[in-house]
Amino acid sequence: MSSYLERQQNSFTGALASAAAKLGPASAKKPLAPPSPSPSVTSTTSVAAGGTPVKKDRDVGPTTVFSQPALTGTGHSALAQMTYVINWLKEKDEPKTIQEILEYVSLHNRSQADQENFIDHVRRNPHIKWIPDENLSQQTWHSGTYVHRPTIPNVKNKTQLLAYMQRLTDMQGVLVKDLMDGWPNCHGAIDELEKEHKLLVLRFKKDEKPKQIWSDDPSLFHAVNPEFKAMWHKVELPHLDSIHQRLIQVGQKPTSEDPMVKILAAGKVEKKKKRANRRGGKTTNSHMQDLLKDYSHMRR
């Protein structure tokens, strides 16, 4: 038996040496292929000598989140920069060339295609006015100048404001926030026109700043004698609850119901009627009368 095992061992040793000679030295091994970006489940485990699967550490490459957009320069898009351009033109209050606008938003070093796309958005914005170059017969993407276009144009003093109010065909009034879009410091002029009885002003309760304005006519204003004002404030008016009775006493017909009637009616509390128990009728479960009988009075 021992000679058979020796022959098997010698045969295995010779086969192993022959295979090692064919593979060559360890330094001549080919480099391993890079790991798959999405390895299967079976590739992450191996079988140990005892037959128990052992989980290997998987090489994880650079993670790419595909559910979010790539960072392509936040703030350089046309829509993101448009607010800055509008506020800048409003602050400068003078025509600006496209080169000045591009330099302000740091787009002057971008490609021409990006600049043309940005200028297209600028020209189509309702708050920006494009002034073409009169010296050119055919306009280009970089010709002309740009100014801020306010919500209420050409109103920057009291005379222009009164003229604009007179041109209105409705009684909706003018929102002060729309007026401030082209005339930021209009509050002082509104206060002066209100004192001159040329404007009716609705103000906020919190800070008394003007909220909405309407046109007023100074000829309809009449000053009241201070002595008459003092006499008016001394008049003692009857209580609201007794006005109804006072009008009836002098032979006048009140236009509303006596408030005392409502007060007395509110004081009365309506009592809810107890619902009577319905008894009678034909009993169909006479065989269960003992079970349905009320034994609550027999509790201890």
Average pLDDT over residues 78-82: 75
Residue 167 lies in a domain: yes
* Same domain assignment for residues 115 and 97: yes
Q: What is the pLDDT of residue 68?
A: 42
The lowest-confidence range among 17-31, 237-251, 284-298 is 17-31
The verdict on residue 60 lying in a domain is no
Boundary-marking domain end, from 94, 115, 148 = 148
Decide if pLDDT at 293 tops 90: no
- Return the pLDDT at 158: 93
Average pLDDT over the chain reads 77
Does one domain contain both 85 and 142?
A: yes
Residue range 10-19, pLDDT digits in tens: 777 777 777 6
Query: Do 175 and 202 fall into the same domain?
Result: yes
Per-residue HEC secondary structure of the chain comes to CHHHHHHHHHHHHHHHHHHHHHHCCHHHCCCCCCCCCCCCCHHHEEECCCCCEEECCCCCCCCCCCCCCCCCCCCCCHHHHHHHHHHHHHHHCCCEEHHHHHHHCCCCCCCHHHHHHHHHHHHCCCCEEEECCCCCCCCCCCCCEEEECCCCCCCCCHHHHHHHHHHCCCCCCEEHHHHHCCCCCCHHHHHHHHHCCCEEEEECCCCCCEEEEEECCHHHCCCCCHHHHHHHHHCCCCCCCCHHHHHHHCCCCCCCCCHHHHHHHHHCCCCCCCCCCCCCCCCCCHHHHHHHCCCHHHCC
**Which of the listed ranges 215-219, 250-254, 266-270, 271-275 does the model predict with the highest average pLDDT?**
215-219
Q: What is the mean pLDDT of residues 51-70?
A: 50
pLDDT category of residue 71 using cuts at 50, 70 and 90: very low
* Residues with Cβ within 8 Å of residue 8, at least 6 apart in sequence: none
Q: Which of 184-188, 247-251, 265-269, 296-300 has the highest mean pLDDT?
A: 184-188
The whole-angstrom distance between residue 260's C-alpha and the CA centroid of its chain comes to 50
Same-domain pairing of 86 and 127: yes
Q: Could you tell me if residue 270 is inside a domain?
A: no
Instruction: Look at residue 264 in the predicted model and tell me its pLDDT.
Output: 65
* Co-location of 99 and 121 in the same domain: yes
Within a domain: 54: no
How far is it, in rounded angstroms, from Cα 152 to Cα 158? 14
Residues 216, 175 share a domain: yes
Number of domains present in the structure of the chain: 3
Asked if residue 184 and residue 138 are part of one domain, the reply reads: no
30 is a domain residue: no
180 and 141 co-located in one domain: no
Residue 25 has pLDDT above 70, yes or no: no
Residue where a domain terminates, one of 190, 220, 250: 220
Q: In angstroms, rounded to a whole number, what is the distance separating the alpha carbons of residues 276 and 274?
A: 6
Spatial CA neighbour of 213 closest among 234, 246, 187, 237: 187
Q: Are residues 82 and 133 in the same domain?
A: yes
CATH code (residue 199): 1.10.10
In a domain, 104, yes or no: yes
- Give 260's pLDDT tier (boundaries 50, 70, 90): low
- What share of the chain has pLDDT > 70, as a percent? 70
- The pLDDT of residue 93 is 85
Which pLDDT score, from 0 to 100, does residue 268 have?
65
Same-domain status, 204 and 186: yes
What is the per-residue pLDDT across 147-158, written as a single tens digit (0 to 9) for each?
999 999 899 999
Assigned domain for 34 exists: no
Residue 249's pLDDT band, with cuts at 50, 70 and 90, is: confident
Domain, as residue range, for 130? 78-148
3 vs 224, more confident: 224
- The reply to whether 186 falls in a domain is yes
